[in-house]
Chains A and B, each alone.
Chain A
Amino acid sequence: MKHTATKILLPVLLLLMFISCGKKFLNEPPRGATINDLLNNPQDGAQRIIGAVYNRLYDWETHSFSWIGITSITSDDADKGSSAGDGGGDKIELDGWQISPTNISFNEVWEGNFEGIGRACYAIKFINEMSLPPGDKDRYIGEAKFLRAYFYWNLIRVYGGVPKIDRVLTSQADIEAASIRASAAEIYAFIESDLTEAAVKLPVVISVNERGRVSKAAAQALLAKVYLYQSKWAQSKSMCDAIIGSGQFSLLNNYAMIWREAGEFSSESIWEVNAIADNPPKGIQQYTEVQGMRGSGAGDFGWGFNVPSQDLVNAYEPGDLRKAATILVPGSTLWDGFVTSNTLPNPYYSYKAYVSRTAESYFDRGQSNKNLRVCRYGEILLIKAEVENELNDTTASKIALNQLRQRAGLAPVNAISQASMRDKVYKERRVEMAFEHDRMFDLRRTGRAATVLQALGKPYISPKHNLFPIPQRQIDLSGNRIMQNPGY
């Protein structure tokens, strides 16, 4: 009896032991989204994909502390600010032109913009693969190319020629092959080609519920500036004329209003990074906090970096309305009625970075409503004034420039010669565009950087400092395939 039981049980139990649940047992479905969830749902998927490219515009590396440091603190417009001992990583070095390839700002701006370029390449690839109505597809492609060009535009102005990435890289071998610097001319051509295509594909009008997305005019405006930097005066002029001729844009009467929430997407606005301090918030990460007044208690708005220099303050003509709109003087009452302390550690702060806690939507210091005004009609008039003058049409130049002077409460210019008109445009550009991340590049573009900065006692060396260094970290990561700029 016992043995019979064993005889039966033994095979049964052995069978039990060697159960396998089949191949399917090991197929654990992946959790969370897969790329197919995006691709197979084109309506929502395409918007989420392009949203991820726009997302890079809000990031710390792309548009915040390091960008502020490189574009502004280095220039004659701004001092480092904050307390003497607080270097903010490398801002003492940037302000004092003790610039080295290991300064963290150069690596952050590199990574921030290249990450945007990578996302744009993915977006172009995916959107091309998706089945979308032709109009929608064109628009998304146009946006991705615009943004790719914008990220390259930031890179080329900082570093000169950089690796050219025009497709998705999928292997380490791809990356190694791409880790070589293209010439500045190649990158300029790439930017122009992306923007030209974008200008064709992007819509003319951006509806209210799409604010923040780029338009045809945004592509034209960026092209106007890209041409300007290459002294392609006629092409730049034709872009300015297209924008001016569209009749879509006009100067806002009150210059100060441009940087307030009430002035977002105004008639002067061509493209802004759309920051929202509602709930849930999405601001440009700590953009206003790093520049906010370094006070205490209710008077504490931030870290107090990137403050107007005395040299900038002195640059305004008497009666220039733009001065009070740009320079925040401690001890004064601000536009929203806030009374600032007169014992703050810095003599001035950037008014364009001020966010009202009472009169504007406010979430917290890290995520403010402050849009970054990337392209505005005021700058188009400056470019127009400059290129017309370079093309020897001083009259057309004066017409453009005087629109800005009139708004600023100043008398029209009467320069006669091309050279003196050029100086007038440069000077106007400084005060009109102060704290808009333009000044340092403008000084270099026009060949004035060494003269201007050396006069202020900065050890600026030309030509070495006409480009910033390639981040050492990237050179190291590339195994020295990416070469350093001369002099560093």
Chain B
Amino acid sequence: MNNSVFGRHVCIRQLVYKFPLTRLVLILFFIICLQASATGKNKEFRKFVPPAISTQNEIKVTGRVLSESGEALAGVSIIVKGSTKGTTTDNTGNFSITVPDNAILIFSAVGYEILEENVTGKSILNISLKQSSKLLDQVVVVGYGSARKKDLTGSSVSIKGADIINIPVLTATQAIQGKVAGVQIINSGAPGSAPNVRIRGVGSVLGGADPLYVVDGIITTDIRNINAADILSIDILKDASSTAIYGARAANGVVLITTKAGSKSKFSINYNAQVGVKLLTHKVEMAGPGLYAAYSNEAAGAPAVTGGDVTGSADWYDEITRPAIFNSHNLSLSGGKNKYRYFLSLGYLNENGILLDNKYTRYTARFNHDFAITPKLKIGNNIGYSHYISENKPYSLFTTAYIASPIFDAVNPDGSFGNTSSGVSNVGNPYATLKTTNDRSYGNRLQTTLWGEYQLMKGLTFKSQFGIDLEQNNGWNYTPAYKTFLPGGAEGAQFNDDADLSFNRDSIFQWVWDNYITYDKKFSTNHDLRVTVGHTAERRNGWGSRALIANKNIPANKEAWQLNFKDTANGQQNFRDPIGNYFRRESYFIRANYKFKDKYLLNATFRRDANSNFPENKRWGNFPSIGIGWVISNEKFMANQSFFDNLKLRASFGLVGNDVIRPGAFDLRPQERLYAYFGTNRIDGAIVTGIADPDLQWEVVREFDAGVEFSVLDNKLSGEIDFYNKVAKDALFTIPYASLGFGNSFLTNAAEIANTGIELALQWNKKVNTKFNYTIRGNITYNKNTVKNVGIGRALNFGSLNNGSSATQTLVGQPIGSFWVYRTDGIFQNTGEINAYPHVIGAVPGDFKIVDKNNDGIIDNLDREHVGSYQPKIYYGFSSTVNWKQFDFSMDIVGVAGNKVYNGKKGIRFGSNYNVEYEVAKNRWIPGSNNNTYPGASNVTPYPTDYFIESGSFVRINNITAGYNFPASKFWKRIERMRVFASAQNPFIYTKYTGFTPELPGNQNEAGIELNIYPISASYLIGVNVQFK
């Protein structure tokens, strides 16, 4: 096994110069390196020749450069003021230089303030550099390296780990909701769930829409295993100039996560804890027994619910929800000595859901360490481990509780489950369903990288990193035998004869090996060049299996399952074939960042990607990007103004891909397990079906971005404005056709999808005095999503309403997943009105007048209209922090506008006497009421009309936090810092939406429908941060 992983497939077997482009790049690179090496030598040579006219004394100065936190700084540039002479610090921060004894040394490093130091005869200089507060000096992670933000021509945003550490989230991306322009985060209230992250709109109909995540170099799609407290920074790459380095996987944007490293000179222990409670907000009030009976009888036109039927009065939402406690604890230890640094952390997170008995627990451990073997050779290793246990309950209970009759009790006086499936209603007892669902998933994930970095020569570094991602997910789902009972003791209609048990196990093994060289060189004073060139290979093996034991006498005690499971005579073992997801990728990449006179920037990136999922002739793709920038504030003509501290224009264009396509979609594979019996022999039928496109290819998105970055008023106000246009020219789309025995659609590259938008981000920093400072940040994004073309395809319908109809359509001229409904024009007050107006068969007074849009006298699909989509036109966020003496306050606001939601729950009532909302029942149309708002009582499946469409706009306070920092002196001297805080998450929301929550995650074609949605809750918590030294 191991042999096959490391030996056979990643063989250093062949030097293949297959591709002319790669060859060219390589040759150019060689030339550059050799030249650089030559000039480097000359310089060094010059260094050893003292100027002939010098009359000063030369002394040798040695020393070390550290950051404020005591970390050694490598690569710090040290220049003798007024000359070209200089050096840089090595990996341990040490330097040595021979200078005149009265020289002034200028120390500069990316991300730090420039420091001038007089030598004045000192032979040892230990320097501490202050971190720069200027945004433009910020160092950002860019993929296979890092760069100063001011040198980049792309649009990216960096968020510090410290900004999210106190927000109670499982997934780090949840915490950045509303904080980044161009990034929409749609959270779910379900414990253990990951949010939908949409960077600059939805770019694909049938491919993936989620961004790519890169955790310390490991490429993944799920970051729920990463403890937010371990994160040093999150860098979000938004345009082609920044994402093209990830080529075929970058079309939905890239989220780079860097975890913390140790500090060489400073030992510290950090402990963070939070405990809080989550509460269901905006509970929808349902009709009680009396109103329900009246409504149902009116709907049936006959006594459907009589007094005798009413045996209880359950409020089903109260039965299945609860205030939920959550808590988290993080302990980390970091430090280092000499050439070794380490960071060790343990995390625990326990999140109860507002749905009864629903719980998610995660344990994490991380050990990151690195070691500088020599000043030029550094090795490191990051290990992250996580384990989770999730007690799952069906989200559909939020819908079942909506429709369940309120005339029963959840539990009988004797403690047995009440029966709710009678002649009156056919909805199961939600409480019984909840209590008899024993569904647990649990798993382990180990992510580790091992890397080595070697400085070949000054400015030229080679890095090799090997990463492994091992994931194992398990689950079981046990339904015991159970019964429900009528109040009289008779058995109810809801029961499970015999217990059922299923198991599943999935394991994924993935490795990725990156090799790249970075060359960083300043040629004379005018030219700065930084080139990264490399190769990466990746393999992923995914494997899963399922087993099911149904209708057998399986005990509830899970320790006994093992026995029964082996007992083939009694337990049915229904093992299905393994499910495999295997693929390999190989890529070459190069990036060049060139800067002329600190004013003109050029970034060029090229990646050539191959993916084994695609047919051999379609396997390789090229993804180039180019960006230019102009730092106007560095121009001479700006020297005399003091308004702009920074003003930069930038623009980029590039091609990036989306390869999240079902493996084997281009190939017809037999469908198996099509069982039939011949006598008593079961035949495992197998046959192919459908039509496949043999030329299926990844989606390619053309992205254009233009932006302005500025800071003014002494850097107090800074901001960025971006315009972008993303067009997917060959987006996946299904071409439908009639069902003639070969499926009814096939997948092909047929659609064109565009996202156009404007982003604005502003930040105001004000340090009033040493005791008082504040920051206000705001961002707003406008995005327009349009399906431009679908080839010969037709509109695709999605958005099942669980009542036989669907509510969304993806078609030309509209945003993806547009709501597609009938317009209404009031309510039929009497049969006369019905007869005088086009109507559907069976229309009765009290029904909506459906507008016959095309005036053909028939109400059919041709009368449906597109009335907007779940995608907001605008989304925005504000956050502010205030520090005053020992106190800190912060508040975050998030909002969306211009989106619609479909209140699917309201539309689910048909037949079977489902319950109805209090407002709807109370205000229903009754003959003679002239009511034109709420329809009359009805058992007929409602048409999808604009009645169910509501505004999805909301403004919500996401977070209010107040903290107190204890003065250091009052505590035990080992405590360096201690802060206590209290926080409210989502305490207020302003929305017109009448359902639980207008924040509705989902698939890109059918999000925004409230059905089976786990509502967002409000939470209140207290926490503590302690740092020991």
List residues of A whose CB falls within 8 A of some B CB.
3, 6, 9-10, 13-22, 25-35, 37-38, 45, 47-58, 83-87, 89, 98, 100, 104, 110-111, 114-119, 121-123, 126, 163, 165, 168-172, 175-176, 178-179, 207-213, 274-276, 278-280, 282, 295-298, 300, 345, 363-364, 474, 476-479, 481-482
Q: Which of A6, A25, A296, A300 contacts B9 (CB 8 A)?
A: A25
Proximity string of chain B (441-471) to chain A, C-beta cutoff 8 Å, 1 when within and 0 when not: 0000000000000101100101010000000
Q: Is the CB of A282 within 8 A of B675?
A: yes
Q: Is the CB of B912 within 8 A of A26?
A: no
Residues of B within 8 A of A87 (CB): 910-911
Q: Is the CB of A276 within 8 A of B691?
A: no
Residues of B within 8 A of A481 (CB): 738
How many whole Å from B636's CB to the nearest CB in chain A? 40
Residues of B within 8 A of A211 (CB): 678-679
Which residues 554-606 of B sit at the A interface, judged by CB distance below 8 A? 572, 574, 577-578, 580-584, 586, 588
One of B12-20, B756-764, B899-907, B1020-1028 contacting the partner: B12-20
Residue picked from A15, A21, A38, A171, most chain B C-beta under 10 Å: A21
Q: Is the CB of A210 within 8 A of B678?
A: yes
Is residue B683 within 8 Å, beta carbon to beta carbon, of the partner chain?
Answer: yes
With A52-B686, A175-B737 already in contact, 10 other A-B pairs whose C-beta atoms are closer than 8 Å: A13-B456, A47-B683, A53-B685, A55-B674, A89-B804, A117-B740, A175-B738, A211-B679, A282-B677, A477-B738
How many whole Å from A85's CB to the nearest CB in chain B? 4
Is residue B68 within 8 Å, beta carbon to beta carbon, of the partner chain?
Answer: no
Q: Which of B577, B678, B739, B939 contacts A477 (CB 8 A)?
A: B739
Is residue B676 within 8 Å, beta carbon to beta carbon, of the partner chain?
Answer: yes
How many whole Å from B366's CB to the nearest CB in chain A? 29
Is residue B982 within 8 Å, beta carbon to beta carbon, of the partner chain?
Answer: no
How many whole Å from B180's CB to the nearest CB in chain A? 34
Q: How large is the interface on B (under 10, 10 to 19, 20 to 34, 35 or more residues)?
A: 35 or more
Q: What are 25 sample pairs from A and B whose C-beta atoms fall under 8 A apart?
A: A6-B456, A13-B454, A14-B517, A17-B516, A21-B9, A21-B11, A28-B583, A28-B613, A48-B683, A49-B685, A50-B685, A54-B676, A55-B674, A86-B912, A121-B741, A169-B691, A175-B737, A175-B740, A210-B679, A274-B677, A295-B493, A296-B421, A296-B492, A364-B550, A476-B794
Residues of A within 8 A of B550 (CB): 364
How many whole Å from B710's CB to the nearest CB in chain A? 39
Residues of B within 8 A of A119 (CB): 687, 689, 741
Q: Is the CB of A297 within 8 A of B491?
A: yes
Residue picked from A19, A171, A210, most chain B C-beta under 10 Å: A19
- Given the known inter-chain contacts A16-B12, A345-B423, please indicate yes or no for A297 contacting B495, CB distance below 8 A: yes
Q: Which of A34, A276, A482 contacts B682 (CB 8 A)?
A: A276
Is residue B279 within 8 Å, beta carbon to beta carbon, of the partner chain?
Answer: no
Q: Is the CB of A300 within 8 A of B37?
A: no
Q: Which of B422, B483, B486, B586 contacts A20 (CB 8 A)?
A: B586
Q: Is the CB of A98 within 8 A of B841?
A: yes
Q: Which of B13, B30, B740 contacts A163 (CB 8 A)?
A: B740
Which residues 266-307 of B sit at the A interface, judged by CB distance below 8 A? 300, 304
For the complex, what is the distance from the CA of A48 to the CA of B146, rounded to whole Å?
57
Proximity string of chain B (527-556) to chain A, C-beta cutoff 8 Å, 1 when within and 0 when not: 000000111010000000000001100000
Q: Which of B15, B572, B670 contacts A15 (CB 8 A)?
A: B15
For the complex, what is the distance from the CA of A392 to the CA of B682, rounded to whole Å?
47
- Given the known inter-chain contacts A20-B16, A83-B423, please indicate yes or no for A296 contacting B33, CB distance below 8 A: no
For the complex, what is the distance from the CA of A58 to the CA of B678, rounded to whole Å?
13
Q: Is the CB of B688 within 8 A of A122?
A: yes
Proximity string of chain B (665-702) to chain A, C-beta cutoff 8 Å, 1 when within and 0 when not: 00111111011111111111111110100000000000
Proximity string of chain B (717-760) to chain A, C-beta cutoff 8 Å, 1 when within and 0 when not: 00000000000000000011111111010100000000000000
For the complex, what is the distance from the CA of A364 to the CA of B493, rounded to whole Å?
15
Q: Which of B426, B577, B679 contacts A209 (CB 8 A)?
A: B679
Is residue B394 within 8 Å, beta carbon to beta carbon, of the partner chain?
Answer: no
Residues of B within 8 A of A176 (CB): 737
Q: Is the CB of A169 within 8 A of B742?
A: yes
Residues of A within 8 A of B686 (CB): 33, 38, 45, 48-49, 51-52
- Given the known inter-chain contacts A17-B535, A20-B586, A25-B9, please indicate yes or no for A118 contacting B742, CB distance below 8 A: yes
Residues of B within 8 A of A13 (CB): 454, 456, 462, 517
Residues of B within 8 A of A115 (CB): 689, 739, 741
Q: Is the CB of B679 within 8 A of A172?
A: no
Is residue B416 within 8 Å, beta carbon to beta carbon, of the partner chain?
Answer: no
Residues of B within 8 A of A279 (CB): 572
For the complex, what is the distance from the CA of A200 to the CA of B10, rounded to whole Å?
59
Is residue B1 within 8 Å, beta carbon to beta carbon, of the partner chain?
Answer: no
Residues of B within 8 A of A3 (CB): 41
- Given the known inter-chain contacts A33-B669, A163-B738, A165-B740, please indicate yes or no for A276 contacting B493, CB distance below 8 A: no
How many whole Å from B688's CB to the nearest CB in chain A? 6
Q: Is the CB of A282 within 8 A of B586?
A: no
Q: Is the CB of A25 within 8 A of B664?
A: no
For the complex, what is the distance from the CA of A104 to the CA of B739, rounded to whole Å?
14
Q: Is the CB of A165 within 8 A of B18?
A: no
Is residue B124 within 8 Å, beta carbon to beta carbon, of the partner chain?
Answer: no
Is residue B625 within 8 Å, beta carbon to beta carbon, of the partner chain?
Answer: no
Is residue B22 within 8 Å, beta carbon to beta carbon, of the partner chain?
Answer: yes
Residues of B within 8 A of A117 (CB): 740-741
For the complex, what is the distance from the CA of A121 to the CA of B742, rounded to whole Å?
10
Q: Is the CB of B582 within 8 A of A28?
A: yes
Q: Is the CB of B739 within 8 A of A31?
A: no
Is residue B477 within 8 Å, beta carbon to beta carbon, of the partner chain?
Answer: no
Residues of B within 8 A of A282 (CB): 675-677, 682
For the complex, what is the distance from the CA of A211 to the CA of B588, rounded to whole Å?
60
Residues of B within 8 A of A54 (CB): 676, 678, 683, 685
How many whole Å from B905's CB to the nearest CB in chain A? 19
Q: Is the CB of B685 within 8 A of A52?
A: yes
For the complex, what is the distance from the CA of A50 to the CA of B421, rounded to whole Å?
42
Residues of B within 8 A of A207 (CB): 679
For the complex, what is the distance from the CA of A175 to the CA of B29, rounded to whole Å?
53
- Given the known inter-chain contacts A54-B685, A170-B691, please indicate yes or no for A98 contacting B675, CB distance below 8 A: no
Residues of A within 8 A of B41 (CB): 3
Residues of B within 8 A of A179 (CB): 737-738, 740
Is residue B913 within 8 Å, beta carbon to beta carbon, of the partner chain?
Answer: yes
- Given the known inter-chain contacts A27-B612, A209-B681, please indicate yes or no for A10 contacting B586, CB distance below 8 A: no
How many whole Å from B732's CB to the nearest CB in chain A? 15
For the complex, what is the distance from the CA of A121 to the CA of B419, rounded to whole Å?
49
Which residues 743-788 of B sit at the A interface, judged by CB distance below 8 A? 744, 746
- Given the known inter-chain contacts A21-B10, A165-B741, please indicate yes or no for A86 contacting B683, CB distance below 8 A: no
Q: Is the CB of A364 within 8 A of B551?
A: yes
How many whole Å from A449's CB to the nearest CB in chain B? 21
Residues of A within 8 A of B300 (CB): 84-85
How many whole Å from A94's CB to the nearest CB in chain B? 14
Q: Is the CB of A22 within 8 A of B13?
A: yes
Q: Is the CB of B672 within 8 A of A33?
A: yes
Residues of A within 8 A of B421 (CB): 296
Residue picked from A52, A57, A169, most chain B C-beta under 10 Å: A52
Is residue B638 within 8 Å, beta carbon to beta carbon, of the partner chain?
Answer: no
Q: Is the CB of A104 within 8 A of B456?
A: no
Which residues 162-184 of B sit at the A interface, judged by CB distance below 8 A? none
By beta carbon, the residue of chain A nearest B29 is: A14
Q: Is the CB of B678 within 8 A of A209?
A: yes
- Given the known inter-chain contacts A13-B462, A33-B686, A477-B739, please indicate yes or no for A58 contacting B515, CB distance below 8 A: no
Is residue B619 within 8 Å, beta carbon to beta carbon, of the partner chain?
Answer: yes
For the complex, what is the distance from the CA of A430 to the CA of B740, rounded to whole Å?
33
Is residue B26 within 8 Å, beta carbon to beta carbon, of the partner chain?
Answer: yes
For the complex, what is the distance from the CA of A169 to the CA of B490, rounded to whole Å?
57
For the complex, what is the distance from the CA of A334 to the CA of B179, rounded to whole Å?
70
How many whole Å from B521's CB to the nearest CB in chain A? 15
For the complex, what is the distance from the CA of A179 to the CA of B687, rounded to whole Å?
23
Residue picked from B29, B456, B671, B746, most chain A C-beta under 10 Å: B456
Q: Is the CB of A296 within 8 A of B493?
A: yes
Residues of B within 8 A of A22 (CB): 11, 13-14, 16
